[in-house]
Amino acid sequence: MQRTLEDFKRAFPDRAVYLTDDRDLPVEDQRTLVIFQGGNGDSYVQVAPAHGFAIEGVRLCTSGGASSHCPGLTVAIAEAYRAMQDARNGVSRSVAPSYGDLRREVDAWRRRAPGYEYDPVMEVIARSPTVEG
């Protein structure tokens, strides 16, 4: 029996899958990105044949491991997982601003209001305690 990506999706609904954009290749040369979350909170990433079934992959630890040695990787993989699952479920997502975009916006606000800072706990912008006035 020939396995298909649809078989895989039905068997493993918690797995996020994305079939290559190289759809002009023969199916035996196509690959599928598979990401899933383990019960331990770690992420698992595989590159599988087009049908999605694979036995090898990479574990990315959210406590230590990848989180320590490659900061940002597990966050990016988790975001990719959510994006892939949203696409699978027909959920529309807007394009998130890049880190650089956010950094430039924060820097611009700091230049315009140097005497103020954002308090994330209270969710307010307050006068910086270091500024007189």
Per-residue pLDDT of 39-80, as tens digits, reads 888 999 999 999 989 889 999 998 888 888 998 899 899 999
Count helices and strands (H / E) in the chain.
4, 6
Q: Residue 13: is its pLDDT beyond 70? A: yes
For residues 39 and 125, the model is more confident at 39
Highest mean pLDDT: which of 1-10, 40-49, 94-103, 117-126?
40-49
Question: Cβ distance 30 to 19 under 8 Å?
Answer: yes
Least confident of 25-34, 78-87, 103-112: 103-112
- Chain-centroid distance of CA 38 in Å reads 15
Question: Cβ distance 129 to 119 under 8 Å?
Answer: no
N residues, the chain: 133
Return the DSSP state at 42.
Answer: -
Highest mean pLDDT: which of 75-84, 97-106, 123-132?
75-84
Question: Cβ distance 60 to 66 under 8 Å?
Answer: yes
- Which pLDDT value is given to residue 19? 92
Cα gap 131→2, rounded to integer Å: 70
Q: For the chain, what is the mean pLDDT?
A: 85
